[in-house]
Amino acid sequence: MKNKIALLPLDNRPVSCLLPKQIAEFSGIDLVLPERQYLGNLKQGANLDYIDDWIKALNKDNLLILALDTFMYGGLVQSRKHSIDSDKLKERANKLSKISSSPKYGFSTILRIADSNINEEEHEYWDKHGKDLFKWSELMHKVGRGVRSRETSHSELIENWYQATQKIPPSILAHYKNHRDKNFAVNSYWLDSLHSHLFQYLIFACDDSSRYGMNVVEAEYLKKLIQNHRFSYLTKVITGTDEVSLILLAKAFIAAMNIAPSVSLFFTDEKGKEIIGKYETNSICSVVQDQLNILNIVVKDIQSSDLIICVHVPTLHQNDHIFDVNTGGTKESVNKLLEFLNKNQKPFVVADVAYANGSDPVLIKTLAHSNINWDLCYGYAGWNTTSNTSGTALAMGICRWVAEKNRTFKMELFKEALMTRILDDYAYQAVVRKTQSNNIADEMKKVAQNLPKLYDIESREINYSYPWNRTFEIEISFKKAVK
């Protein structure tokens, strides 16, 4: 079947496994996934022998979307803390062409540098030296680029970098640099493999990035190599990670059905669209445009487009639910969006990026009590980073539009996907998570009851759980509607 697509996810989190599955199901895509129990989690990597057998067993005519961090290291977390030597990594990378002749889309992360002293997803030494490593990396980049503030001379910048280096034990700094070198060598290998047509399309994802750091240097170098090899039509370096499988799923669906919508862009604040979101290196509008470029989506004016991409942006700085950052109200922007939606009665999606790590409560409450036509809402997202959110919203909207044109769209399953995003991104991330309640279900129900009849949310029996035994993410599952 031309709409049969296989996906090797980053790990077994809901955003990696269940979200692509939801989009595939409401779109009529026959999505083939590995058994979830063999994928990586927070503590353990994927079973690579199982992964190899799973890939070998795939129909060679079906497109395969590969999370290369899973194939190489066992998952996203494992890419950050593995102890695999360079020879083994090279041997593993060479194996891909031998076990799979399927047409492939691939994505690989550029190793992040977490600005924290938390080692949950990093090497053990991160609890003592994480922030020092981040600062060393940031200053190393600035020294190399000659970047400094007005108050700091270049010689002072060099002195600051030297002092940052002295705070880190030499053995730890050497280990960290070696780890980065190994991962970058793998990414260089994937880029070189485009000469032998290993991938039909390849994405390098800047995972949890910022403006300065060794990860940004690596991204810039990959961009230079892409330009030198004239591979810009085959590969791209973008910010984000968790949404990339969704973007590639939409790209594969567009290719299989040979049809795509044109879109128009509406930002709730013209200055706000130029803001660089937290955990990103590019402006909000650049993030959205990069994702549209990957999909080869044409941007038109409002009247001529098939689908409107509404991006709810901050006005000063991006707020953040996790770190309780709120730099200003969003009511004016929300009212502007509401007025726009009432005026333009055509299909739309909403990428809610006024906050990082959750929805804008003002936006959700306003829309939930408004008279907008929810049948025209083709997608919504408002979760972790700007790229996570925009990629999810785009994938939902574009896949629904393509599915409708091909008469494979399933409305009830779409409603569940949309409810999942509202419940996860708004009810949990923006509201319930802060309460630190031991009873998620009751707290979620209280929030849901304040969303009047949003896609008949009250008639659903919904289960909630912590898939990785931490509060960072929840898993939402639906049982059949209560009659």
Give the pLDDT of residue 36: 98
pLDDT in tens, 363-395: 999 999 999 999 999 999 999 999 999 999 999
Residues 110-122, mean pLDDT to the nearest whole number: 95
- In CATH terms, is domain 4-115+172-254 a member of 2.50.20? no
pLDDT at 457 over 90: no
Per-residue pLDDT of 269-322, as tens digits, reads 999 999 999 999 999 999 999 999 999 999 999 999 999 999 999 998 999 999
Q: How confident is the model at residue 482 (pLDDT cuts 50, 70, 90)?
A: very low
Q: What is the mean pLDDT of the chain?
A: 94
The C-alpha atoms of residue 207 and residue 44 are separated, in whole angstroms, by: 20
Q: How many CA atoms lie within 13 A of 247 on its CB side?
A: 32
428 phi/psi in degrees, rounded to 5: -85, -60
The span from the first CA to the last CA of the chain, in angstroms, equals: 36
Q: Could you give phi then psi for residue 262, rounded to 5 degrees? A: -90, 155
Q: What percent of the chain has pLDDT over 90?
A: 85
- CA nearest 262: which of 301, 306, 296? 306
Q: Are 464 and 475 in contact (CB under 8 A)?
A: yes
- Whether pLDDT at 460 is above 80: no
Per residue in 71-84, pLDDT tens? 999 999 999 999 99
pLDDT at 13 over 80: yes
Give the tokens for residue 372. 């907008």
**Which pLDDT band, with edges at 50, 70 and 90, does 483 fall under?**
very low
Per-residue pLDDT averaged across 442-458, rounded? 76
The amino acid present at 40, given as its one-letter code, is G
pLDDT tens sequence across 336-347: 999 999 999 999
Cα separation, 286 vs 305, in Å, equals: 20
The radius of gyration of the chain from alpha carbons, rounded to an integer in Å, stands at 22
Listed by start position, the domains of the chain span: 4-115+172-254, 259-478
